[in-house]
A and B are shown apart, each in its own frame.
Chain A
Amino acid sequence: MPSATVLYVEDEQYDVLFMRKAFESVGLGESLKVVTDGLQAIHYLGGKGEYQDRTKHPLPSVVLLDLKLPIVSGFEVLRWLRGQPEFEALPVVVLSSSTRDEDRSKVRELGANAYLEKPGSLLEFPTVVEYLKKRWLDVEDETART
């Protein structure tokens, strides 16, 4: 059982594939949970339906959130999340292909912790994983997280 989980909210299949490979290559394949739209993200976090089973769908230590999502946008997920008392302090790293400065500003206002540009090539995914691992995941110390 992994000691830390990343919830990756991303609809583009190649990004998911590359991210999964990057996680697996550092032995964190089990840590990555993926949902492919904003509504699923909200259900996952809220433990709705199938996501009630926390052994299969553990609460994440950090959410990796794309902004451009079907059904419910990344902005809306972020807004919802910060409105829930139990997720007020949940780290959220936004990944965006937008270069618009207004989006970054908005993301900060909505309470995201960090804003990263989406990896543009296969080589850049491991960098994101390294960052997450170093900063937000407690993978060395099993007892630090419940």
Chain B
Amino acid sequence: MDEDIQREPAEILLVEDSPTDARLILDAFKQAKLGSRVTAVENGVEAMTFLRRQGKYAKARRPDFVLLDLKLPLRSGFEVLAEIKVDADLQSIPVVVLTSSPRDVDVFKAYNLDANSYVTKPVEFEELLKAVAVIEDFWCSVVTLPPPPPL
């Protein structure tokens, strides 16, 4: 990189249908105090509308990464993942799958659809909070995020 980009707060899209888990995850971000801005949507259709900046999300910011549950109403997480990763404009956005299924078949499928990483949601509330803190720290502080695509 030519310039040392001052770290701005990250924009994160959370796609999660369980209000309890969404609340927990949002709490975790608040606790971590990295200043990330999290938008939460509860299904796959909303997720794509947000990413495409359509309708009510016309002024949405491009997320720095997406936290994606696989178990979603209306459109499965796999469909959302596939759609993001075949879209020339969106495919560079890292997608972190955060879902309750630890099943090999789901993990395999997600990585084959180019998920950037797969995290199985811990069953314990405290552990979920910790996992989200680690995820945020990794993707916001350690990783070099992709620049936005040229217009």
Contact = CB atoms under 8 A, between A and B. Distances in A.
Interface residues of A, number: 12
Contacts, number: 24
B18 to A, nearest CB: 5
Given A114-B124, A114-B125, 6 more contacts: A93-B123, A108-B20, A108-B125, A114-B123, A116-B123, A131-B123
A18 interface: no
A105 interface: yes
B19 A105 contact: yes
B19 to A, nearest CB: 5
Interface of B is mostly: helix
B23 interface: yes
- Closest 9 pairs (CB-CB, A-B): A114-B124, A104-B20, A105-B20, A114-B123, A101-B20, A101-B19, A108-B125, A113-B124, A101-B18
A93 B19 CA distance: 20
A115 interface: yes
B4 interface: no
Interface string B117-151: 00000011110000000000000000000000000
Contacts of B124: 113-114, 135
6 contacts: A93-B123, A101-B20, A104-B20, A114-B124, A115-B123, A131-B123
Contacts of B125: 108, 112-115
Interface in A118-146: 131, 135
Contacts of B19: 101, 105
Contacts of A105: 19-20, 23
A93 B123 CA distance: 9
A123 B50 CA distance: 40
B84 to A, nearest CB: 26
Contacts of A135: 124
Contacts of B126: 113
Contacts of A115: 123, 125
A104 B121 CA distance: 15
B14 to A, nearest CB: 15
A123 B150 CA distance: 52
Interface in B5-55: 18-20, 23-24
